[in-house]
Amino acid sequence: MDTDSGATVESWRLDKPVALAVIFGAAGILLPLFTIREHRLDGGTGLSVLSASVPYSVLLAVCILVPAVIILVRTNAKIRAGLLAGTGSVLIVLPWLLAGILGSRELLELELDLGRVAPAGGFWFLTLSGMILVSEFSRRVQGWTGTLLVAAILLCVFAMFRLGLLEDIAFIREYRVREQRFLSEVIAHLRIAAMAVGSAVLVGVPAGIVSYRYRVVRKPVFSVVSGLQTIPSLALFGLMIAPLAFLSQRYPFLRQLGIRGVGNAPAIIALFLYSLLPILRNTYTSLSVIDPAVIEAGKGMGMTQKQLLFMLEIPVALPIILSGIRVASVQTIGNTTVAALIGAGGLGNFVFQGLGQASPDLIVMGVIPIVVLAIVIDRVFAFFIGRVIPGARNVE
């Protein structure tokens, strides 16, 4: 890896990843950028940038040419990185703007009041091309610069959305119809996930410590917990229903707490069981990889067992434990989606409603916030793991 980061002494050779980005970008220009749909369930007709607008296609062509130039011309590393970042961000942001503005204009011309603009192949190819360039940029710079660029790009798209430039894009339409419910589903989603992961931390971390301390319990605890994670999520949700329905029928106070066979209760319990493994495993691993010399040193200083655990072992183990919680959180955000099938709240409701109505736009509208939540949570954990604990190694 070190050999190709010293870009200043690079000789004449093809920069293959950037070449790939150019090919994808070219495909993005040629393929339909978006489709115009007459109504919600219309298949739609495709429209490429080339046919829609000359100035914009020139602009996009420039964005494809710049990386092509980067491949061929030897410039200094800083300029190259800057060009990569610039063209990469434009290639990601511009398709949104084009779909928003050109799409709306097209709808007006065709007098389609109920029409909508759906991103198509060209849109995604341009995005992919931009992502490759941004990823190549992030590799060439250090630390958080790459993440900052990604954040800036996301902010840019968000700003366009706030300014109302994207209103005719199909899944934004779907969002506008459900604006109120959207927010409450996001909150429900986060609440279910947080309760599941929170209780998994409360159980998983002590369980990890106990399995580290007492070898006898390690094997049974690990086989049960990893067995749980092997079970398909929908099956685990399903298996929760019967016992919970039985319990809530038997004990009225549980019913008063809102615990029923379907709904949030079985979802949270199943998601809790699912989150245990990464947390338990990382707690156990983090404690067992501590250098025995460190523990000896602690003992030599006259620390008691309790002091050893709280003042030495846990602080040293914290980064790895945190990455276990990170894995559990990202995974739980995804699995909470499935929980909608057993009547729990959350963004999965939009996704499965969309599947039920065969409405691609509604599905996309549900999936985007789920993916964004997962990525944001992942990055936030990465930040804290790298930041709060100095010298921490970021264990994926």
Exactly one of 80, 104, 284, 323 binds other proteins (CB under 8 A); that residue is 284
- 236 interacts with other proteins by CB under 8 A: yes
Instruction: Out of 227, 294, 297, 315, point to the residue binding other proteins (CB under 8 A).
Output: 227
**Closest distance of CB 1 from other proteins, Å:** 7
Q: Which of residues 281 and 298 has its CB atom nearest to other proteins in the complex?
A: 281
382 binds other proteins (CB under 8 A): no
Q: Which H, E and C letters describe the chain, residue by residue?
A: CHHHCCHHHCCCCCCHHHHHHHHHHHHHHHCCCEEEECCCCCCCEEECHHHHCHHHHHHHHHHHHHHHHHHHCCCCHHHHHHHHHHHHHHHHHHHHHHHHHHHHHHHHHCCCCCCEEEECHHHHHHHHHHHHHHHHHHHHCCCCHHHHHHHHHHHHHHHHHHCCCCCCEHHHHHHHHCHHHHHHHHHHHHHHHHHHHHHHHHHHHHHHHHHHHCHHHHHHHHHHHHHHHHCCHHHHHHHHHHHHHHHHHHCHHHHHCCCCCCCHHHHHHHHHHHHHHHHHHHHHHHHHCCCHHHHHHHHHCCCCHHHHHHHHHHHHHHHHHHHHHHHHHHHHHHHHHHHHHHCCCCCHHHHHHHHHCCCHHHHHHHHHHHHHHHHHHHHHHHHHHHHCCCCCCCCC
In the complex, what is the shortest distance from the CB of residue 351 to other proteins, in angstroms, rounded to a whole number? Answer: 5
Selected from 85, 92, 126, 241, the binder of other proteins by CB under 8 A is 241
Report in angstroms how near the CB of residue 106 gets to other proteins at its nearest: 20
**331 binding other proteins? (CB under 8 A):** yes
Residue 197 Cβ, how far from other proteins at the closest point, in Å? Answer: 13
- 65-94 residues in contact with other proteins (CB under 8 A) are none
Q: Which stretch binds other proteins (CB under 8 A): 178-186, 195-203, 272-280, 312-320?
A: 272-280
Binds other proteins by CB under 8 A, chosen from 209, 335, 346, 385: 335
| Of positions 81, 342, 344, 385, contacts other proteins by CB under 8 A | 342
Residue 338 binds to other proteins (criterion: CB under 8 A): yes
50 binds other proteins (CB under 8 A): no
Residue numbers at the binding site for other proteins (CB under 8 A): 1, 4, 15-17, 20, 131-132, 135-136, 138-139, 218, 222, 226-227, 229-239, 241-242, 245, 261-262, 274, 277-278, 281, 284-285, 327, 330-331, 333-335, 337-338, 341-343, 348, 351-352, 354-355, 358, 360-361, 363-364, 366-367, 370-371, 374-375, 378, 396
